[in-house]
Amino acid sequence: MEDAIFTANNIWMMLCIALVFIMHLGFSLLEIGLTRQKNSINILFKNVFIICSGLILYYIIGFNLMYPGEFNGYLGLNNLGLNLPENGLTSDYANSSYTFWTDFLFQGMFAATAATIVSGAVAERIKISAFIIFSIFYVGLIYPISGSWLWGGGFLSDFGFYDFAGSTLVHSVGGWAALVAVIFLGPRIGKFKNKKSFAIPGHNIPLAAMGVFLLWFGWFGFNGGSVLSGNPAQTSLVLVTTSLAAAAGGIGACISSAVIFKNFDITMFMNGILGGLVGITAGADLMSPTEAMIIGVLSGLIVVVAVKILDNLKIDDPVGAIPVHLFCGIWGTLVVGIFGNMASIEQFCIQLASLAFIGVFCSLSAVIILLPIKMTIGLRVKANYEIEGLDINEHGMDAYADFGLNQH
């Protein structure tokens, strides 16, 4: 019976690995669809690089930075690379839940997500070389260090901070870096004129919608796998709260957008779904279905209001990554102290203080990484590159081949 449970749990975790992997395709399609055709290759290149480099970096250093074993609670590294423990392939490794290799691969899929969030926010004007350098340092060092403070048994774990699947440790970690990066870069040419904001429409909204559905699909693994076993009661609750929050987030954004902007904006609707997913992620295992829907509806409202705030501040985020991942990541972290099994003023204060610490660390880290890049090779492409498109100027190709009369 023990072997059967071990096998079933491990199979569920491997399935969740595949689901989280699919999220990277979802991010790619969402970002491509919400940006202009001339930058599609650039978006794809960044997302392909993130998952490839992210897994390698997590193998070399990230996993051991995030899970260093016995350490001082702030920074620890027991070795480089992966060394299979003696019990790594047995039921003793993680209470009959998964093997060491499954553990590494599941966590590695999470690591790459932080840089993917930044990719969307800085789209259409960052140098590919600058993004590569930034993502290497951020995924390789900053994400695992901040993750070790809670999931690795660090000081935030002792403090009582709770983040089930990463509203803070994944989404806001990426969101803080995205905010710093877009401030460093400045808005795209033509986004703001005479103190007014002008929409720069994405070239393929159906592609973006496909990306949203793939992300929602992948989130079953993102949150469901964070149970860290196939426990029927816990897993089923998490999947229900995740789904209801996503649906309610979409409805909340749809209604909010109609009231604030006087139209039924499909991009707001889609980002509201993602906002609901981010908003439930910290407490998906703590909430009732009704509480999940409340969190989702308010997440959708937050996305729409955040878009308006960023426009007023002349901060240009082409895909809405900051409203979704930073604003809703903050909200999702705080609701652990407002709703659910852990709700209390004390827990709310713990959540707020921990969130502030992570925010300061990630923001300062992003500045430390981005400032030398800006002062040396530069962050932003030339104006004519931006106007003509990054695909031709940074990659030497088009995303959509021209099969016209000029082709031989």
Domain boundaries along the sequence of the chain: 2-395
Q: Which pLDDT tens digit goes with each residue over 66-96?
A: 999 889 999 999 889 999 999 999 998 998 8
Overall average pLDDT of the 171-195 stretch: 95
List, in order, residues 6 or more apart from 342 with CB less than 8 Å away.
162, 283, 286, 336
pLDDT at 407 over 60: no
Helix axis angle, 173-185 to 100-121, nearest 10° = 30
2-395 belongs to which homologous superfamily? Answer: Ammonium transporter AmtB like domains (1.10.3430.10)
Please choose, from the candidates 281, 204, 184, the residue with its C-alpha nearest in 3D space to the C-alpha of residue 34. Answer: 204
Using pLDDT thresholds of 50, 70 and 90, give the confidence band for residue 336: very high
Backbone conformation region of residue 287, classed left if phi is above 0, alpha if psi is from -120 to 50, else beta: beta
- Give me the chain's average pLDDT, please: 95
Using pLDDT thresholds of 50, 70 and 90, give the confidence band for residue 20: very high
Three-class SS of residue 317? coil
List, in order, residues 6 or more apart from 129 with CB less than 8 Å away.
377
pLDDT at 121 over 50: yes
* Confidence (pLDDT) at 95: 87
Report CA torsion sign: 389, 394, 396, 401.
negative
Q: Which residues of 272-298 are buried (b: 16+ CB within 10 A; e: fewer)?
A: bbbbbbbbbbbbbbbbeeebbbbbbbb
| 337 vs 326: CA distance, rounded Å | 18
Overall average pLDDT of the 352-373 stretch: 97
* Confidence (pLDDT) at 51: 96
Overall average pLDDT of the 154-164 stretch: 97
Cα 223 off chain centre by: 13
* Confidence (pLDDT) at 156: 97
* Confidence (pLDDT) at 110: 92
| 136 vs 132: CA distance, rounded Å | 6
Residue type, 158: D
* Confidence (pLDDT) at 113: 86
Using pLDDT thresholds of 50, 70 and 90, give the confidence band for residue 55: very high
* Confidence (pLDDT) at 403: 53
